[in-house]
Amino acid sequence: MDLNNLDDYCIETTQAEPDLLIELVEKTYSDMGYPNKLSGKTIGRTLKLLAKIAQPKRALEIGMFTGYSALSIAEGMPASGELICCETNPRAIEFAQSFFDRSEHGKKIKAIFGPALDTIESLEGEFDFVFIDADKRNYLNYYEAVLPLVRSGGLIIIDNSLWQGRVLDPKENSDIAVNQVNRLIAQDNRVENVHLNVRDGLNIVVKH
């Protein structure tokens, strides 16, 4: 039995994304490059379901890229929800906004240009839902920066938490940072978590 086919099987047996997201993926491949930065169908549908369950009124995404995960989260949020997205690539923001403008959920999304840590420092009020998917070297900094802003019972979801298996033998700064945040969360009495082997890893954290 070839277990490498299990990922494909999970993708095939997960319900399809909206057509607009399929188009976004295709356009990202053709126009933007770095398609590996996309969250992908399994993660996207997971984010949508988690948002649908949690019904966050206010959410934060660190690392938006072309907007696939943002639209997935917004799809699960209530109509009055607000999703703030941090992104450092102005071309990616422009690309994503062109899809937000065509989505019934796009009005929930606000993209902010600039370093995420600076944006986080400027934010006021509580968040119900946070998705971290930006530069891996800052994962621990992002986690510590957003935790005080998350309400009790709120979610923090960390993508690429297995970092292509590099967490098992961390050598580069990004490997070390991802491993550090995973190890911290596992011992952090401020939260509880489950670390899932989904795609490139998804660490799901709930604040006490």
Residue 37's pLDDT is 76
If we measure between CA atoms, which residue out of 79, 35, 82 comes closest to residue 60? 82
Give the range of the structural domain holding residue 13, as residue numbers without chain letter. 3-207
Residue 33's pLDDT is 74
Residue 34's pLDDT is 75
Written as tens digits, the pLDDT of the chain (208 aa) is 666 788 889 899 999 999 999 999 999 999 987 767 788 899 999 999 999 999 999 999 999 999 999 999 999 999 999 999 999 999 999 999 999 999 999 999 999 999 999 999 999 999 999 999 999 999 999 999 999 999 999 999 999 999 999 999 999 999 999 999 999 999 999 999 999 999 899 999 999 9
Residue 161's pLDDT is 97
Residue 14's pLDDT is 95
Tokens of 149: 């802003």
Tokens of 2: 């070839």
Give the pTM: 0.96
Q: Residue 48 maps to which CATH number?
A: 3.40.50.150
Number of domains in the chain: 1
Tokens of 194: 């489950």
On whether the CB atoms of residues 129 and 51 are closer than 8 A, the answer is: yes
Residue 160's pLDDT is 95
Residue 7's pLDDT is 84
Residue 1's pLDDT is 64
Q: Which long-range contacts (CB under 8 A, 24 or more apart) does 11-16 make?
A: 11/41, 11/42, 14/41, 14/42, 14/45, 15/45
